[in-house]
Amino acid sequence: MNFFKSFLASCLGSLVAFIVAFFLLFFLLAGLIGTAISDGGNNNKVAINDNSVLHLKLDVPITEAEIENPFEGLPLPGAGDATISLLQFKQVIKSAAADSKIAGVYLDISVFMSGFATAKEIRESLLEFRKSGKWVIAYSEVMTESAYYIASAADKVYLNPEGDLEFNGLAVEVSFFKKLFDKLEIKPEIFRVGDFKSAVEPFMLDKMSDANRLQLNELIERINNEMIKEIAVSRNIEESKLKEISDKMMATNLQEAKKLKLVDSLLYYDQVLAELENKLGVTNESDIDFVKYNKYKKTVTNTKTSENEIAVIVAEGDIMPGKADPGTIGSTTFAKEIRKARNSKKVKAIVLRINSPGGSALASDVMWREVTLAAKEKPVIASMGDYAASGGYYLAMGANTIVAEPNTITGSIGVFSVLFDMSSFLGNKIGITFDEVKTGDVGELITVTRPLTEQEKRIWQKRTDAIYETFTSKAAEGRKMNVEDLRKVASGRVWTGTQGKERGLVDELGGFDDAVKIAAEKAGVADNYKVRFYPKQKTFFEQWLSDLEENAKIKVLQDELGENYKMVEQVKKLKTYQGAQARMPFELKIH
């Protein structure tokens, strides 16, 4: 009895302590949020001094939309790292160009974490900034290929004398899991249409097919050539010479890079500060007034008060049925947003900002329907980011106009279906077996506990063929092409934005600003409009609590499963591939 009294007393004490701690934390967070909102909501509290230097540190994730983080820099669990919204970044740089208090930009970038279409948009923003007569100085200890691509837009590119520069062209690597599946006794059951629909190759091969190797070679060659052309102009180097420097990796060290004019000078940080002193006309490095991007952006507001709205619906991540979460495009959420924009009298045009490798074929079609309905009533412009492939292209193809960056990865018009027969893995490795009874010849069509029958396999292939028929027919209708001509550029093959335009899959080459401009012109409001972004993002506090809950679940699983946790995560990922998919034919990692 004494034991239970002590036990209950201990539990009660712990509970009381937890409740007290919870409320203390709650009031602390409420105070911090109130302060952050107050500071962020009153631009006058963000003081920018004359002759300031905007410090752009771009070694952070670049996303399409941004969640405000009032706890950034505070030692709180789950506060997370800063991110930069590409669409907001463009507004900030445009504002800085017109701000008399900003003398120039100090670009700090080593590793760029997004794709080459995003890199091009950032680079173009910096070039536009320079047109204002202001300067951009880029400095780092090391630079990757994509980081240097952005940095080459600066007036001067400096590197640490003992640093490193990667300038040797692009490579793409694909992971293959066939041997792992063989060891685990997992058997993929695959149904696909198109020679280039190679998203399933990692499950069935141990190296690239000839078709996949062909398209990847052409893809990275196009992207690399585009970069070489732009860098050559900025660095005043003959394009053919720069291509040779890249192909042969002639800059094996920074002394060679300087000699080849890839960089202007090799300087330590204090020497870079001395260069900035000269530009600013000050005599001491303490007089250099750096203003960080996250501080400066609080001074930038959308001052347009027009009643004419361009609704920008941001679709970023994998396409899934249901509601959207951060990093996913939920068909229910996005169909609703498109429908609301279509029915709104104040919305004069819609821009779909798409950055997606695809996903569920059904979810893609649900959103496509809403896009086509909207396009009949008002201009709908698709603006493609790094990726708008497969399901991402499905979402775009109903728009009136498609705008892509030259380095956007698009197309991949094809379908595959995949299921994983895990019966041997479950039975032989874990010791779990299954049995079933059924009323007809066909049992569950989506199952991991047994292999499909021959009849069920024929059903899956028939369904996959039908979805491809639908995809290509609707794409041909949207692009006003003969369906046979459309299928010549389909078959699951990916293209750059430039290649897509050459083949009729894209209308215009350009970035987000170009898409907005086209939307406003088509709506007849080119001189009088404002831009608003949808769907409404979760507040940081909502996302923070959600992340804490998710992290707690992960911690429990890790503690419970130990080394097996990674295997479970891979199996969970495989489940997202189950069923019919309109997904890009590989997870592209270009480096």
How many other C-beta atoms lie within 10 A of the C-beta of residue 221? 13
| DSSP sequence for 509-565 | E--HHHHHHHHHHHHT-TTS-EEEEESPPPPHHHHHHHHHHHHHHHHHHHHHHGGGH
Q: Report the C-alpha gap between 338 and 312 in whole angstroms.
A: 10
Q: How many residues does the chain have?
A: 591
Q: Report the C-alpha gap between 589 and 591 in whole angstroms.
A: 6
Helices vs. strands in the chain: H and E counts, helices first: 21, 22
- Token digits of residue 548: 């804490």
Residues 532 and 310: beta-carbon distance below 8 Å = yes
Active site members: 197, 390
| DSSP sequence for 264-319 | SEE--HHHHHHHHHHHHT-SSGGG-EEEEHHHHGGG-------S-EEEEEEEESEE
Distances (CA, A) of 499 to 222, 508, 577: 9, 11, 28
* Single-letter code of the amino acid located at 202: P
Cα-Cα-Cα-Cα dihedral of 356, 360, 366, 371, to 10°? 20
Residues 196 and 490: beta-carbon distance below 8 Å = no
Residue 404, C-beta contacts closer than 8 angstroms, at least 6 positions apart: 117, 384, 388, 410, 497, 500, 501, 506, 508, 509, 510
Distance from the first to the final alpha carbon of the chain: 67
Q: 210-235 and 116-130 are packed helices; what angle lies between their axes, rounded to 10 degrees?
A: 10
Dihedral sign computed on CA atoms, order 526, 530, 534, 537: positive
Q: Where are the beta strands (DSSP E) in 341-400?
A: 347-356, 358-360, 380-389
Q: Report the C-alpha gap between 304 and 195 in whole angstroms.
A: 49
Three-state SS for 455-523 is HHHHHHHHHHHHHHHHHHHHHHHHHCCCHHHHHHCCCCCEEEHHHHHHCCCCCEECCHHHHHHHHHHHH
Match 């506990």 to its residue by tokens: 449
Q: Report the C-alpha gap between 139 and 525 in whole angstroms.
A: 42
